[in-house]
Amino acid sequence: MARSTAESRNASAYWRANVRLLLRLLCVWFLVSYGFGILLVDVLNQVRIPGTGFPLGFWFAQQGSIYVFVALIFVYVWRMNRLDAEFGVAEE
């Protein structure tokens, strides 16, 4: 199972692109849950979502973070499928 140099260079470029994407998405993940939902909750609770009774920090902790999580995974899938095709490592 020896790989050619070009192929392994391609594989490591793919891996780096993958890790970059992961880190970006994980920043968002951290921000909406630990950031908005826990660390900054008291500050954000000073603000209310207009037209509702939700304090903003409370809303992020009990609703908003979950919506963002779902979106993050679908964004990840979409970007990874594109990366797979770009680097020619997609499955048949």
Partner 1 sequence: MNVQAWTFVIVGLSFALYIGVAIWSRASSTKEFYVAGVGVSPVANGLATAADWMSAASFISMAGLISFLGYDGSVYLMGWTGGYVLLALLLAPYLRKFGKYTVPDFVGDRYYSQVARLVAVVCAIFVSFTYVAGQMRGVGIVFSRFLEVDITFGVLIGMGLVFFYAVLGGMKGITYTQVAQYCVLIFAYLVPAIFISLLISGSALPQLGFGSVDVGSGEYLLDRLDGLHAELGFAPYTAGSKGTLDMFAITTALMVGTAGLPHVLIRFFTVPRVRDARISVGWALLFIAILYTTAPAVAVFARTNLLATVSEQPYAEVPEWFETWEDTGLIAYEDHNGDGLIQYVGANSPLENELTIDRDIMVLANPEIADLPAWVIGLVAAGGLAAALSTAAGLLLVVSSAVSHDLLKRSFRPGITERGELVAARLSAAVAVVVAGYLGIDPPGFVAEVVAFAFGLAASSFFPILILGIFWKRMNREGAIAGMISGIVFTAAYIVFFKFVDPAANVPDRWLLGISPEGIGTVGMVINFLVSTVVSLLTPPPPEAIQRLVDDIRVPKGAGPAHEIRA
Residues that bind partner 1 (CB under 8 A): 1, 8, 11, 14-15, 18-19, 22, 25-26, 29, 33-34, 37-39, 41-42, 45, 49, 52-55, 58-59, 61-63, 65-67, 69-70, 72-74, 76-77, 80-81, 84, 88-91
Nearest approach, Cβ of residue 5 and partner 1 (Å): 13
Nearest approach, Cβ of residue 38 and partner 1 (Å): 5
> DSSP H helical segments within 1-92, as ranges?
5-30, 41-44, 56-59, 65-86
* 87 residue type, one letter: F
Q: How many CB atoms lie within 10 A of CB 6?
A: 8
Nearest approach, Cβ of residue 33 and partner 1 (Å): 5
Please tell me whether residue 89 adopts helix, strand or coil conformation.
Answer: coil
In sequence order, what DSSP letters do the residues of 35-50 get, joined into one string? Answer: IIIIITHHHHTTSB-T
